[in-house]
Structure 1
């Protein structure tokens, strides 16, 4: 693969939140595999990674100063690194944990020498040869990079008491309470990266939600919004409230008094004090047990309690949530908005914060014992590198090219490139309130005005009906049938369908929306457009809102909003290729009874503006797309049916893959796709399409900051179109960072593009210009977006798949299959492709 860099665009200098390791370790390191077991003999099963293992290794080093002097660096999982080789025969230790740690008990720790890491091994990481296998588990290059990460992070992770194998730590200063027992904490992220010619530390600010470290009853009061204990007991009698509390608390660590014992909540029980069990062949209640054994009379025997995996029950009033636990479940819309306010940093403030952290005592680089022992040094100044600003492509509407400024354009007095024809349509209203009829009429008038101004033809007014929230689908069906009454059948003799059904949701109308989308996407094959209460009837924002809704309706009804015209060198690539976006979404953390959903969207027109969608269910938390070749083969056949030719190139933009999984993508996705392409070529008796496969990364912490005012937009971010392909990129693969969108709030995040296959050997300029152009074809916006439109669409298709499962499977209810075994075939059989797969239903 060619590693040439791009040349197009205006050169600009930018800062990045990365710091060069100016001096690498000077000493040899010995790498040991750590096995920790309960008991002095080590016959019990191995203890998994976690706080307990970190405590045991810490005690091991404290109790054996002659062996671990200087102290070894431990990654919190399995890897221990030391500059002093442990004597032969001294690789097994008994560790006695005292009561002051958390619990009594003996443990056996066995250390097995795995490898020796010389300074020369670390220097190889910056060469193309050393970077070739980075990310492959247990590979020598990966372990060398792990060593650097562990040395750097050991000090702050231990100081702030966060998991050693995590790359982030958080501080309580400046934390802000959200609702329902959750707080937002600010912190810092640090990650060692091997790039071409140097090794850097990427440092960033970060924010995460944490459980409040309060007593359990206070937390429950917040979660359920109760006034007092009596109200809480009543609330827990409701199945819905109790399920909500269970979902919130399951898996949380609590400290139980007396004894300050740490326990993990497996489940909740109602009326915990009244629960009965046998103790020494005597039947007693939990309340009686606490009175006789702990000399404590329960104040609230009717309050809920916690249940452990062992079945033991503890009353809530004896429990306190252990500090420093991440909340990894979905936040409510209100908490999400509050969380975003806490996590937003202006570009200038963000760069200052990370620079101060590196230069000051927060990271402790200068005085960390592990850093001093290694001889490593980190340059205290952020890297300054050269990038380029690409020229925005032309955006073509009906009257020609529009002026793009700051990544945005204005559609006032413009017509869609291909306006849709609305023969019949309906508006179904589930909102209520004063003068609802007048508010809906005003919204209809404004919406029709915008559609007509943009060139759409609207034959008749909407059929309007009030919907019944208790019978959503029948309400929509009734309005849809009335809207087409009197229209002649279609050319093939089938009854007419409305061009669009607009549904006005009530406040908090998620369940109504779910039923609307299943009716339209799966059952009837009729496009639907939901509008939100408080948006459609807002005098202040109605004009802009109606304009945005018109963009979506035009596409769903078969129109094309705009085309993009990139540089000449890219036009032919777009016209002769099938552009593909792929993504995988997963159920909530810890949920193993729900499948992950894989999606693929593929372009079906020359302008890469219209896409067909495919979805598939696969085992939970599996990132590799099992059926990528099958979905892509179906997409190629559709492309051939539409355009009577196979594409010369299939360009795949793959979302959601971490750097450590590139080798998996190569083995489990790309090779299958290449085999399929050869098979399809033989089927159609033509040369097989060539493959370009690009991973698009969003979940990274690289940021860019303008070095002067000429490279700065109104928000203080770098101008849209910034591309960086030197200074911090991979030493083996072709990759680049592209900040394609204008800044709106906080610090803009560039997308990271990694080219894993480049069959046609497109140049860096061509791939960068193509990727930038595809950020301008997202149909629901009048501005460039942060990732290519097909990637954006694939993500939306994954999310929309929730409505395509059989409702009886209750995909959205994460607690509905507790304890059940995962059955992939059940989920595959219950997932239907949308009846609108070729009609952009997901916009």
Structure 2
């Protein structure tokens, strides 16, 4: 607890909640051994005994859902459409304070009805899936998915696949051996390669910590990396102990899905859809997303921006770029450089510039649309300027000597992907809307060109939804936006210690935060020296509120300066090749490694 003397000098005395309750109120806690709960903030904590608190029901849980309850959460949230429609039509509407018998006083022409609005909708045609063999693949049009039975991937490498299996603690040896056999069979059946070659025996890990994993991988790769495997597979113990005991399960769908990932790691293409080549041959399709540190992250942890761009007319290969930026900043900083790298790869492939760019932007709200237009869209023009400068003839020192190139004209179409909305659609039949259902009238915005989608987007995007490289189904929105989100998740994995700190990391962080906080309080006490003590019964003045905000900002920036060197070092290690000359590493970076 803290006290303030007449000279505004703060004095802090550390005590426990139990001792404070006894000293101030003469009260003995029933459970003094339990940890106190902070109901304040990290910078201004307020500690309460848990027996004095009650958890209110129906609150939004903003933290990461624990694994122990995740499956229950998903099962509860996936209600059948009949049940959801009933709750909306019978329970939800009745909660609105609307009297259908009375006309609104300010606008009597409006009629209010307590019923679900009926609107027109259209169904887009299903795309034709393309594989290596057979050439096309039918799928369930009611569920928009298919399987890999009897198909070979669209594009693969004929060379043998060298791979290595790492086995997590708790996985049985015979399960690991069954996995090796099934994996070799799966990559051969789907023509990922001519032959699957597991290098030696599998490696049984002694722990799940990063240091153990780092040592094992370093020893496996060796000094020169000549005998390094093409793919490393980590076999984890499932929450269901028997999930890997069935060889049949492994040899069927599981191994087929893993084969898809293995093909991506070798720069292969799993499948495509008919007609998408006409769009992609002249267009660069770009997806972008930004992930921010959550409530449990260390204060000062940066946000991660990810941009992906198409490199193949089949829409089966994308290049990814990531960067760190200021915490909680949604607009992508220096987007031009990320797009430039992708443009350069596109130009190297086609020997020309794209005439069209389709930009899928995920994660922005309607209030940020203008900011995207004014901040991010001009960056594409700057990226073309960078490409033109890069293509100029240069002397031995790298200085441009040739004629200055004029950046080409291009058409840019921006589509903002919005998933978190409360609009729900129900067909007249008691079932789910059919895949391909699109609504672009009545309930859409009068200001923007928008549409609602049931699993798939407008004509061009509808096809792209079925090119998602890691699944045999049509995903809920365009694949490029999905890929950008997946790349963001890969970035979060690199910085997991800061995004989701362990107990030891949290203690290390809190110790430094307390030190910075103490310095700020000392500086504030010096500034307040000689000022009269403020009456607690009076409201804070504007100057006092400004001082509090200045102190909070100082703490934030102080922690950001403390964390950033380690974060930058970790990030650089994840983005750069240690040897600096390993072509295998550079080739790997050009694959969809994050998928």
TM-score range, shorter chain: 0.7 to 0.9
Whole-Å separation in 1 of the counterparts to 2:19 and 2:173: 62
Equivalent position of 2:215 in the other structure? 474
Equivalent position of 2:500 in the other structure? 812
1:565 equivalent in alignment to 2:285: no
How big is each residue's C-alpha offset from its partner over 1:442-468, in whole Å with a ceiling of 9 and x where there is no partner?
121122212111122125344322223
Whole-Å separation in 2 of the counterparts to 1:779 and 1:312: 48
Q: Which of 282, 286, 298 matches 2:29? A: 298
Q: Which of 664, 671, 679 matches 2:378? A: 671
Equivalent position of 2:280 in the other structure? 574
Aligned partner of residue 615 in structure 1, secondary structure: strand
How big is each residue's C-alpha offset from its partner over 1:195-249, in whole Å with a ceiling of 9 and x where there is no partner?
xxxxxxxxxxxxxxxxxxxxxxxxxxxxxxxxxxxxxxxxxxxxxxxxxxxxxxx
8 Å CA contact 2:163, 2:198 repeated in 1: yes
8 Å CA contact 2:187, 2:196 repeated in 1: no
1:795 equivalent in alignment to 2:485: yes
1:448 equivalent in alignment to 2:175: no
Per the TM alignment, residue 701 of structure 1 is displaced from its structure 2 partner at its CA by 1.9
Equivalent position of 2:69 in the other structure? 335
Whole-Å separation in 2 of the counterparts to 1:821 and 1:373: 53
CA distance 1:679–1:419, shift in 2 (3 Å): closer
Whole-Å separation in 1 of the counterparts to 2:34 and 2:198: 57
Whole-Å separation in 1 of the counterparts to 2:30 and 2:295: 35
Equivalent position of 1:417 in the other structure? 154
When the two structures are superposed, what TM-score results if normalisation uses the length of structure 1?
0.54
8 Å CA contact 2:221, 2:227 repeated in 1: no
1:634 equivalent in alignment to 2:345: no
8 Å CA contact 2:307, 2:339 repeated in 1: yes
Whole-Å separation in 1 of the counterparts to 2:12 and 2:280: 78
8 Å CA contact 1:431, 1:504 repeated in 2: no
Equivalent position of 1:427 in the other structure? 165
Output aligned runs, 1:558-637, within 5 Å.
558-566=267-275, 571-589=277-295, 591=297, 592-637=299-344
Per the TM alignment, residue 321 of structure 1 is displaced from its structure 2 partner at its CA by 4.4
Aligned partner of residue 438 in structure 2, secondary structure: strand
8 Å CA contact 2:128, 2:137 repeated in 1: yes
Per the TM alignment, residue 313 of structure 1 is displaced from its structure 2 partner at its CA by 5.3
Per the TM alignment, residue 555 of structure 1 is displaced from its structure 2 partner at its CA by 1.3
How big is each residue's C-alpha offset from its partner over 1:160-187, in whole Å with a ceiling of 9 and x where there is no partner?
xxxxxxxxxxxxxxxxxxxxxxxxxxxx
8 Å CA contact 1:392, 1:404 repeated in 2: no
Higher relative contact order (CA 8 A, sep 6+): 2
Per the TM alignment, residue 604 of structure 1 is displaced from its structure 2 partner at its CA by 1.1
CA distance 1:505–1:371, shift in 2 (3 Å): farther
Per the TM alignment, residue 828 of structure 1 is displaced from its structure 2 partner at its CA by 4.6
Q: Which of 544, 556, 559 matches 2:265? A: 556
Whole-Å separation in 2 of the counterparts to 1:312 and 1:789: 45
Equivalent position of 1:505 in the other structure? 236
Q: Which of 376, 383, 408 matches 2:117? A: 383
Per the TM alignment, residue 650 of structure 1 is displaced from its structure 2 partner at its CA by 1.6
How big is each residue's C-alpha offset from its partner over 1:505-533, in whole Å with a ceiling of 9 and x where there is no partner?
2458xxxxxxxxxxxxxxxxxxxxxxx97
Whole-Å separation in 2 of the counterparts to 1:298 and 1:708: 59
Equivalent position of 2:81 in the other structure? 347
8 Å CA contact 1:505, 1:533 repeated in 2: no
1:699 equivalent in alignment to 2:420: yes
Output aligned runs, 1:139-538, within 5 Å.
290-291=21-22, 293-306=24-37, 314-321=48-55, 325-357=59-91, 359-360=93-94, 362-366=95-99, 378-399=112-133, 400-406=135-141, 407-420=144-157, 421-432=159-170, 436-455=172-191, 456-458=193-195, 460-463=197-200, 464-469=202-207, 471-481=212-222, 495-506=226-237, 535-538=243-246
Whole-Å separation in 2 of the counterparts to 1:795 and 1:379: 40
8 Å CA contact 1:358, 1:380 repeated in 2: no
Per the TM alignment, residue 780 of structure 1 is displaced from its structure 2 partner at its CA by 1.1
Per the TM alignment, residue 291 of structure 1 is displaced from its structure 2 partner at its CA by 4.2
Aligned partner of residue 170 in structure 2, secondary structure: coil
Equivalent position of 2:253 in the other structure? 544
Q: Which has the higher helix share?
A: 2
Whole-Å separation in 2 of the counterparts to 1:546 and 1:559: 17
How big is each residue's C-alpha offset from its partner over 1:721-779, in whole Å with a ceiling of 9 and x where there is no partner?
112222222223322222236xxxxxxxxx6xxxxxxxxxxxxxxxx221011111111
Whole-Å separation in 1 of the counterparts to 2:23 and 2:389: 80
Equivalent position of 1:762 in the other structure? none
Per the TM alignment, residue 708 of structure 1 is displaced from its structure 2 partner at its CA by 3.7
Per the TM alignment, residue 548 of structure 1 is displaced from its structure 2 partner at its CA by 0.8
Whole-Å separation in 2 of the counterparts to 1:666 and 1:813: 36
When the two structures are superposed, what TM-score results if normalisation uses the length of structure 2?
0.75
8 Å CA contact 1:562, 1:777 repeated in 2: yes
Q: Which has the higher strand share?
A: 1
How big is each residue's C-alpha offset from its partner over 1:534-577, in whole Å with a ceiling of 9 and x where there is no partner?
544444632211111111111112221112213xxx64221111
How big is each residue's C-alpha offset from its partner over 1:669-709, in whole Å with a ceiling of 9 and x where there is no partner?
11232343356457653523321211111111222211247
CA distance 1:498–1:329, shift in 2 (3 Å): same
Gaps of 5+ in 2: 392-404, 514-557, 577-584
Aligned partner of residue 290 in structure 2, secondary structure: strand
Equivalent position of 2:410 in the other structure? 689
How big is each residue's C-alpha offset from its partner over 1:417-445, in whole Å with a ceiling of 9 and x where there is no partner?
22233342211222335xx2222221211
Count how many residue pairs are aligned between Structure 1 and Structure 2: 497
Whole-Å separation in 2 of the counterparts to 1:480 and 1:631: 30
CA distance 1:439–1:303, shift in 2 (3 Å): closer
Aligned partner of residue 439 in structure 1, secondary structure: helix
Aligned partner of residue 598 in structure 1, secondary structure: strand
Whole-Å separation in 2 of the counterparts to 1:371 and 1:619: 47
Whole-Å separation in 2 of the counterparts to 1:735 and 1:495: 52
8 Å CA contact 2:334, 2:379 repeated in 1: no
CA distance 1:541–1:377, shift in 2 (3 Å): farther
Provide the alpha-carbon RMSD of the alignment.
3.5
8 Å CA contact 1:674, 1:691 repeated in 2: no
